[in-house]
Each structure stands twice: as structure tokens, then as C-alpha cells.
Structure 1
């Protein structure tokens, strides 16, 4: 049904645009369609992307044994972006159509699929100040800020899986300025609902406050590619980004700040303050790239209890993680990448052992990140538990 509606929408836009808009056919990777209002008071770029993923998994006990394989459409998305009325008022809408994109329906989303990833406006209301309103990514960990379309490896790390704060509904204030000719500083502050994306039944706990500071001592990266995996631009001079983000979710009702499971009690929801710290660095030069990130999550009272003091079985995923990744892009646009990730949750609270990930990947960029083939192998180790191996192969098409 959703595809039929979108097809009709495209036909309507296309027929209408013949009479009232200037239509431009973009180059590959620049979108499906560019629409510009006849009086230049609005614009829309329409694009789409697909990721086809194959996975094989093995578990190592006495010997390596297969535990399954899977082939799926990992991501299938449509994007709409442009400006409304003035170039200072921009917007973006991104819809997820694959099963993995829309999963997570619950009573808190009115049992509806979670189609909407992003839906927000950006208003440049004064000089270098921008106000964002709507649902989008919070200014948290750098791995999540990097789009899934622009990753160096097939998927994000275990650190992101455990600690990300992803998307939420609210408002963000962003600003940037130059300390000197090249030294760029960017700040972001977000106030959000605190329970993740597409939640329509809230606010159940308190609010979420996120702040991020970025220092770029050698200036912006070529083509603003600090949030793009790998050094495909082959920076002619060293470029560095140092960032720190702090997230405070007051009276949070989920096990991973605004992610994870709701902490139900016999009288409602368990609430506790959850604080998450992210520190990261990105460096690129002449095809070489490095990304490092540290995460630390704490909670006032991590063990959920009922009103009478009995435990519910839910706990906040408190702990710390480290992620280090480095890659090199050869002149034929073939990249090799290595990644080490370590996650150590508080065992006394979560009863989970320390986990390590070792990943090696190869990417072939045919048209940058817009058309690429990626493969990687990950070896996972768990202290006191079984080890495992994951192999992945993925094709990305972004048109």
C-alpha cells in the first residue's frame, strides 16, 4: 500500500512539474529528481537508496560451527529535501521502507510501523545560528551521526549498538564560528522527548538534554566529509575533528537512555536519570583515515524496582566502550579497513561479560559511497563465553 501511494505521488509531482516547475535530471547519485518552484520559493530533491546484505555466522566452542545465514534488504529508503519559502528554511524527510527500517511497532507508536526516520526543518535565523525542529539524529556518538550510506564497513560497531542515542523528537540549536582563519568550532544543543523515534504515546518520563562540541583546528574537511567514512577526497593537508558530547536523560524509562526496552513496573514505569558521555576524534590525510570513540554510561539507580522494592528484572545498560577504526583508500578507490571495539558493561548490574570485536573489511567505491560493494569479517570474543565469527557482504545503491 505504501509503495502504491508513493508511486501515485511521484506521478502527480512529475505531471504537475511539467507545467509549473523547472525539472532537472541530476547525475547519478545526486537524486532522482530536482524540483524548483516557478517563482523559486521552494525546492525539492528526491532520492532513494538500497542496501542488499548477506550474512553468515559461526560459533566457536570446541570447533567452528555454522549457526545460520541470512539474505535481506537491509535498508530501503526515500529522501526528500530542499527549502521552503526561503533558502534559509530547509527541510528533510527520510522514510524507511524495509522491514528492518520500520520494525519496532508497539503500543507507544500506536502499533504503527515506524516509517519516518527524519522529518525536520532547519531555520538559519541569524548569522551562523540554526534552529532544527522535528525528528532527527541527536548530536551524540559520531558513528551514529555518520549516515549508514557513508560507512567504511558494512555496519556500525558494538559500541554504537550498546550506547547510541540515535533519533528523537524535539528541537536543536546549532552554531559555528572560527576561532582563527582555519580553527572551526561547532556547538549543538538538543532538547528532546527522550524515548526515541516515532513515539506517539509520551512523554512518559522526563526530557532528554544533549550537547555536543566539535573542534576542527585545521578547518573543515574537503567537501564537509568529516561525517563521511574513509578519505575518498584524499585530503591534501591533515584534517582533524575532536568532539565531545554529553547526554542527560532525566527520569528515563528505557534501558539504554532513549533506546532499549521500556522498564515496566507493577504500577507503571521505572524512572531514573541516565547520563552518557561520548568522546571522539576523526583524522584524515592523503587517503588515510582514523576514527576513535569512547563511551561511558551511568545511571542514578540502574536496577529497576517495583513500588514495594522488589526487582522487575530490567536494568539500565551502564558501562563503557572503546572503538578504534583505521582505513586507507588506494588511488583505484579500493579501501582496506580495520576496527577494534571493546564493550564492558557493569557485570554486577547487567550480568554481561566484556565483549571484544575485531573487524577487517574491504570496500570498492564505484561512484563514491553512492555505488559501492563492501565486505567484512568480524571475530567476536566474550570473556567466559563462546567466541564467534560473522562474515558480511553488502551492495549499496544510492540514486
Structure 2
């Protein structure tokens, strides 16, 4: 792994140095990365690097105190167009220990999990794009938010328990204006159903099918503000987005579909058909933002307690002051089904953020209290610094 990282960064350095000597630097300002474009516009490259430094402390009801200091995320991203401007690509790599993780494949043992996104996006018509490769599925809104652009230190427990996450396959994205200002967005996906970087065949030949629809009755948000936290654009008019996602993961052998452990009984895999529903909403107006997400996961054919069934809800709101300080709050509740291994929990959280340069340079903190049915309740304090170049 260490030799790979050294070789990779050396290659990146030589690549950027070589194209900068023969191509034109289009833009270089904080938070927007390095951009290069060929003289004939046959390709373009944009390179970004970001990391998060996180402190976390927990105080349990038994009097125990635990704490940690870590690089929560460290990412290297490339994007641009290839051959023609309507053919775009994105490559994102995870470099921290938490990013890399493990493939957790029984036959192969722990494996590096470096590639987050590797996807090509072809805009074949004015309102339609075809995506091919590995990237986030069009699931709950909170998950599709970049981890760089969250309103809180991290996503809610609803996301961590029920999200669809990344997978490899094809996606179709459409966006259409209805009437004077309303917008409808359609997103469809067919993928392997086992998550990112999995190279072992599913013995049950499973597939995953995802459909998401969004309605923006008052028109589009400024600068795609419906997909980042806080109202940094300070919308002059009320903007609202309502979304619904339905997902069917057929014959998955992982406990949470795209995530979780591989479920086995003896030497045999255990497959299940997971049905997931998300309903979410986001409102922004003059620095105020409010959001809500509901998730429900069920199955009709498996009683194995390792599969995560149940439902959850997350409600959040915040106000961005003229000084770019934000005070926010979030309530989360997880209600698993009786057969699920997921623990019932409720979280009450208050967040304080300072946006020095939008989501590219910010300091975020939150204070929360979590109650759990089958485990100890605890208070938690987190402070995180985000730097994105």
C-alpha cells in the first residue's frame, strides 16, 4: 500500500507538470482546484485534494470517557471532459485509513478499497445523461451530498444504517422544466447490488434497481444548492425540493445491500431481497435551511437477523448568519424491525459551524446526546476542520 501511494503521487506530479508545460492553466483559485485544457479542447483535467481532521470525545452514562483524533477523510479527485465536452468523467480516490477500509470479501480476505468513483457521464441529449461506471446510487439526498459539503460534522444515523451507497453499473439522469418554473428530475440505475470494488461473483446473480424522482415546484436552486448543506447562496426566493427513491436489491449477500458484512451460514452465502424506500425534502430561504429524510427497509424472504431492516427519520434545520457562522440542529431516530441486528437509537444534536470560505475551508462542531435501547447512552462532542484545495 505504501509503495502504491508513493508511485501514484509521483505519477500525478509528473502528469500535472507535463500538461502544465504544454497546456493552458484555465483557473487556479482556492477551493476550485487546478484546471488544464488542451489547445484543441479535446480534453480537460481538473484536480482537487481535500482532507478532514476530526476530534471526537464520548462520555458514557457509566462514567467512561473515550476520545480519538483522526484524519476522517482524505480524497484526491480528477474530473473534466474527454474527446468532446459532452463526455465527462470523474475519478475519486480515498487515501485515509477510514477511506480505504476493507473489501471484507471472505475468499480474498482484507482488500484495499481505494477507488470511490470512476464514472463516465455522456450527455447524449439536451436533458439526458447516461452514466457508466462506479459512483453513488441515486438514493437518499443526504448520501448524495458530498462529504465536503455537509451541514454537520457527518451524516445522520438514518444514512449510516439504510443508505444505498456506491455501486457499479449504469444510470440514466434526466432534468425537465415544467410550466413557468417547476423542475422535474428523473434518475434510474441498474447495478450489481454488492457495493464498490467487489470482484467476487454473486453466486445468486443478483442485481439492484433504483429509481428516484425529484420535484422542485419553485425552480432550481442557485448553484445546485439542493445538493449541499446550509443556505450558502442565501436564496432570494423560497426554494423547495421533494424527492422519493425506491430501490430493490435482488439476491444481495451483504447485510445492508451495498454495505455491511457478507452473510453466510457455514460455507454457504445467505441471499436476501431488500426493498428500500426514501422520502426526503429540502427547503432554503435567505440563510435558513430545513430538511427531512425518512427511510424504510424491508424484505419478504429472509429472517436472518444480520440483514438490516427497519425505518428511520432525520429532521434538521439551520440558520446562516451574515458573519457566515451557522447554528443548526438535528433529530434522528432509528427503529429497527424485531429481526434486525441494528440497535434502536435516538440522537439529539446541536451544531455550530464557521464557513471561512464556503465548504472549502470551514470549522464545524457539534454536541449530541444519544439514547440506545440495547447499549449505553452517551454524550458526544466533535470538532472538525475541512480543507479543500
What is the distance in 2 between the residues matched to 1:161 and 1:280?
16
Could you tell me which residue of structure 2 aligns to residue 5 of structure 1? Answer: 7
* 1:324-350 Cα shifts (integer Å, max 9, x gaps): 000000000000110000000012x12
TM-score normalised by length of structure 1: 0.93
1:283–1:70 distance in 2 versus 1, CA, 3 Å: same
1:75–1:384 distance in 2 versus 1, CA, 3 Å: closer
Could you tell me which residue of structure 1 aligns to residue 299 of structure 2? Answer: 299
User: For the Cα contact (< 8 Å) 1:246–1:276, is it kept in 2?
Assistant: yes
Could you tell me which residue of structure 2 aligns to residue 343 of structure 1? Answer: 334
Look up the SS of the partner of 1:235 in the other structure. coil
Could you tell me which residue of structure 2 aligns to residue 382 of structure 1? Answer: 372
List gaps (5 residues or longer) in structure 1.
305-313
Deviation at 1:196, TM superposition (A): 0.6
What is the distance in 2 between the residues matched to 1:385 and 1:118?
35
User: For the Cα contact (< 8 Å) 1:344–1:355, is it kept in 2?
Assistant: yes
Could you tell me which residue of structure 1 aligns to residue 93 of structure 2? Answer: 95
Could you tell me which residue of structure 2 aligns to residue 368 of structure 1? Answer: 358
Could you tell me which residue of structure 2 aligns to residue 309 of structure 1? Answer: none
What is the distance in 2 between the residues matched to 1:12 and 1:169?
30
Look up the SS of the partner of 1:30 in the other structure. coil
* 1:346-376 Cα shifts (integer Å, max 9, x gaps): 12x1265531000101000000000000000
1:211–1:193 distance in 2 versus 1, CA, 3 Å: same
1:275–1:340 distance in 2 versus 1, CA, 3 Å: same
User: For the Cα contact (< 8 Å) 1:302–1:315, is it kept in 2?
Assistant: no
* 1:209-262 Cα shifts (integer Å, max 9, x gaps): 000000000111011111110001110000000000011001111111221111
User: For the Cα contact (< 8 Å) 1:176–1:186, is it kept in 2?
Assistant: yes
What is the distance in 2 between the residues matched to 1:353 and 1:188?
31
List gaps (5 residues or longer) in structure 2.
none
Tell me which of 6, 14, 17 is aligned to 1:15.
Answer: 17
What is the distance in 2 between the residues matched to 1:73 and 1:267?
37
Look up the SS of the partner of 1:107 in the other structure. coil
Could you tell me which residue of structure 2 aligns to residue 358 of structure 1? Answer: 348
What is the distance in 2 between the residues matched to 1:12 and 1:114?
24
Could you tell which deviates more after superposition, 12-21 or 175-184? 12-21
Q: How many residues align?
A: 385
Counterparts of 1:222-241 in structure 2, within 5 Å, are 222-241=222-241
Look up the SS of the partner of 1:236 in the other structure. coil
Could you tell which deviates more after superposition, 369-378 or 9-18? 9-18
Deviation at 1:127, TM superposition (A): 2.0
What is the distance in 2 between the residues matched to 1:398 and 1:109?
37
Deviation at 1:383, TM superposition (A): 3.3
Could you tell me which residue of structure 2 aligns to residue 39 of structure 1? Answer: 40
TM-score normalised by length of structure 2: 0.96
Could you tell me which residue of structure 1 aligns to residue 69 of structure 2? Answer: 71
User: For the Cα contact (< 8 Å) 1:154–1:392, is it kept in 2?
Assistant: yes
Could you tell me which residue of structure 2 aligns to residue 242 of structure 1? Answer: 242
* 1:297-343 Cα shifts (integer Å, max 9, x gaps): 00123323xxxxxxxxx531110100000000000000011000000
Look up the SS of the partner of 1:317 in the other structure. coil
Q: CA RMSD in A?
A: 1.5
Pair 1:120 & 2:119 matched: yes
Look up the SS of the partner of 1:350 in the other structure. coil
1:41–1:354 distance in 2 versus 1, CA, 3 Å: same
